[in-house]
Structure 1
Amino acid sequence: MRILFVYREFLNDNLFVHTLVKELKKRNHEVDSSVDNFWDNNKKYDIVNIQWPEEIFKYIIEKIDVVKLKNRIEDLKKQKTGILYTRHNSSPHFRNDNVLKLYHLVEQSADGIIHMGKFSINEILETEPNIKSKNFLIPHHIYENTYNENISKEDARKKLNLPLEKFIILSFGRFRDNSELFMLLNAYLSLRIKDKYLLAPRMLNFSKKKSLLKNLIYSFINIFFKVYSINSNNYDEIIDNDLLPYYLAASDVVFIQRKKILNSGNLPLGFLFKKVVLGPNCGNVNEILFETGNPIFEPNDNESIVKALENSYKLYIENHGYDNYNYAIKNMGINFVVDKYEKAYLSVIAEIKLNK
């Protein structure tokens, strides 16, 4: 098959597409990852797999862009190209009317939609009752054989200058707004566990080039954080993929700090590194955490979050992270997942041929 992932892989740190492309190429498929190729009439594909719709227009969506995309999808369908959409989000993180229309267009126009959980399928059937796309359930894969998974906790903590004896809660990724920050801080400060330590490298979204006032604020915050064993020292910089496994190896549990979410890459990452993962009662995240016996919290209920953190500590003591790892290898492994991608692609191609 000739497959195009509509994604600027070379500009992104997210390994979701990269790992799929790598595995599909191993299976002798011709695979590209590009947005430019999406618009190029000279490039012919059997399957075009759209990821994040806003990525097609570099996240700046004008009214005319919705029309452009509609016309392009129609052209591809005339060429008998199968259009699939991987549903990473229920809706865009930063929304306006144009980007919402873009999402609606992609969901309505796709020949098939790939969902990472049953919740996503049920949600789209409810919000888009007239949708004609085929729905495929394919879990978020783990990035096995990508990172160094053999780093010891002691070595990781030494490299990151973290205390060796603390119970470390890792909250990864950029905090999208202050409500996520206060949700985590309130719960952490209410948590009565000896030797607790919060590692949230991107919790403070300051640039390194701060104004004098921000420098002063940052200094006061850092004093407060040191008193309460909180580490947030990476400003607004993305964690390099070479350094990322050290953060995971150093931690004891992974906290997903979202108040509303469909999927989270931090969940399979935590499972891959044998960690207990706790997250909000929403989306596919809740579904997977419930199935695997990991703590779930109500994001607007501090008591619920504290209880989930307490449960995560108990599960950490019981080595539940190893159960998560075994589940992930069986149900989220790259070979298992790519088998399902191939079947989805072939199903769409067969349907197109049938309707010629």
Structure 2
Amino acid sequence: MEVFVPHQNVNNIYLEEIIRFSDSKFIFGNINEYKSSFKIVNIHFPEAIFNWKRPTEDELIDLERELLLWKKHSKIVFTLNDIESHYDRENKFINLFRLIQRHVDAVIHLGNYSFEKFKHLFSENCSHVVIYHPLYASLTENYKTESFSKELKINLKEKYIVTVIGALRSADEAKLVFKIFNKIPVKNKFLVVPTMFQFINMPSYFPYRFRKIYRAVVERIFCYPLQKKDYFFGYTFLDHKYMVDLVEKSSLVIIPRIKNLNSGNLYLGLTFDKPMIIPKVGNLTEIADLFNFPVLDLKKNNFEEVIKIQLDPKIEFSFKTNDYLEKKKVFMPNKIAKEYDSFFNNLINTK
């Protein structure tokens, strides 16, 4: 079966984990490369359809025309990574998301929270299923890694490394990270955020040559009272060969999401059996509950309680129990791929 993804692949390799075990052939391309022979059209990131740029009204009209054409020959499936764009502070993509919600034939939810809360946003004839996000198993299978600390000339030996792998998307997420980090009662702690402050744009009235100065000032404001020796921030996507090394060396992983429906960072932490600080949001709570992980309830402000549990040395033994290992099998890519294939086949065989 040929599955058309109407946008290019993204840096998040979760879909590749599914593709390598799927019986379906996934084909990436722009909306004009659709063929009537495609049985399934699978949308993962609506913004990627327009290369992460705000679509014009004419482009939305053209997309709706395409969607209606696709529905004549294919089933359109929306994998619901999120209900709105991650970076959409100005509601630039809301009409795009609503358009897709209106016309898709089926939705793959990454958790029951999503299924229960957002099912009503789609048409009555839309099919729904819960299929979880896969682990990043390929990163543990003979993956060639390179030293993160050597590449960036940072000595991480004998440090309690706290990492935030995913890009921070708002000032509130950054504040949450610093609040958690400052409450960790460890002397030799070191914070690593490879993709930091992407959410901050220098005002247009500032000359471009001052961008580094502006960034440095913003960094000091956010980081106070931390010293430079206590953290490292990058500003671009971290190559997977360095990311794997960083995660393996990490003592604790922070999931900085406040409003998101899902987070691949959680599954990255699961992949490498790392203690995590997981906020009580979206589908994250369901996965945390499955593994009996504590969740950070921002309303109850239970920071100290969650941090204490995750810093307990006994937590490493819990990652070796049969119960934990059996639960991880639910998220193995080969299992998730079979669930995708089964759902796709059921769709095309349903009148």
Fold agreement, TM-score > 0.5:
yes
1:54 equivalent in alignment to 2:52: no
What residue in structure 1 maps to residue 307 of structure 2?
Answer: 309
User: Structure 2: which amino acid aligns with 1:7?
Assistant: H
Unmatched 5+ stretches in structure 2: 202-208
Shift of 1:223: 9.4
What residue in structure 2 maps to residue 169 of structure 1?
Answer: 162
Distance 1:148 1:225 in 2: 40
What residue in structure 2 maps to residue 337 of structure 1?
Answer: 336
Shift of 1:192: 2.5
Matches within 5 A, 1:228-267: 230-234=230-234, 236-267=235-266
What residue in structure 2 maps to residue 290 of structure 1?
Answer: 289
Distance 2:156 2:307 in 1: 20
Q: 1:215 to 1:73 in 2, by over 3 A?
A: closer
Distance 1:289 1:171 in 2: 18
Distance 1:264 1:227 in 2: 29
Q: 1:317 to 1:40 in 2, by over 3 A?
A: closer
> Which of residues 190, 202, 206 in structure 2 aligns to 1:197?
190
Shift of 1:219: 8.3
Determine what percentage of the aligned residue pairs are the same residue: 21
User: Structure 1: which amino acid aligns with 2:14?
Assistant: F
1:272 equivalent in alignment to 2:271: yes
What residue in structure 1 maps to residue 180 of structure 2?
Answer: 187
Shift of 1:269: 0.7
Distance 2:6 2:75 in 1: 13
Q: 1:41 to 1:339 in 2, by over 3 A?
A: closer
Q: 1:199 to 1:262 in 2, by over 3 A?
A: same
User: Structure 2: which amino acid aligns with 1:244?
Assistant: M
Q: 1:75 to 1:211 in 2, by over 3 A?
A: closer
What residue in structure 2 maps to residue 320 of structure 1?
Answer: 318
Residue-by-residue CA offset, 1:247-289 (whole Å, 9 max, x unaligned): 1001012110111111101111111111122211110011101
> Which of residues 109, 134, 137 in structure 1 aligns to 2:127?
134
Residue-by-residue CA offset, 1:63-86 (whole Å, 9 max, x unaligned): 22322222111111122x111110
Distance 1:212 1:6 in 2: 37
8 Å Cα contact 1:289/1:295 also seen in 2: yes
What residue in structure 2 maps to residue 122 of structure 1?
Answer: 116
What residue in structure 2 maps to residue 16 of structure 1?
Answer: 14
SS of the residue 1:44 aligns to: coil
TM-score by length of 1: 0.84
How many residues align? The count is 340
What's the RMSD between the two structures over aligned residues?
3.2
Distance 1:33 1:150 in 2: 24
Unmatched 5+ stretches in structure 1: none
Q: 1:129 to 1:90 in 2, by over 3 A?
A: closer
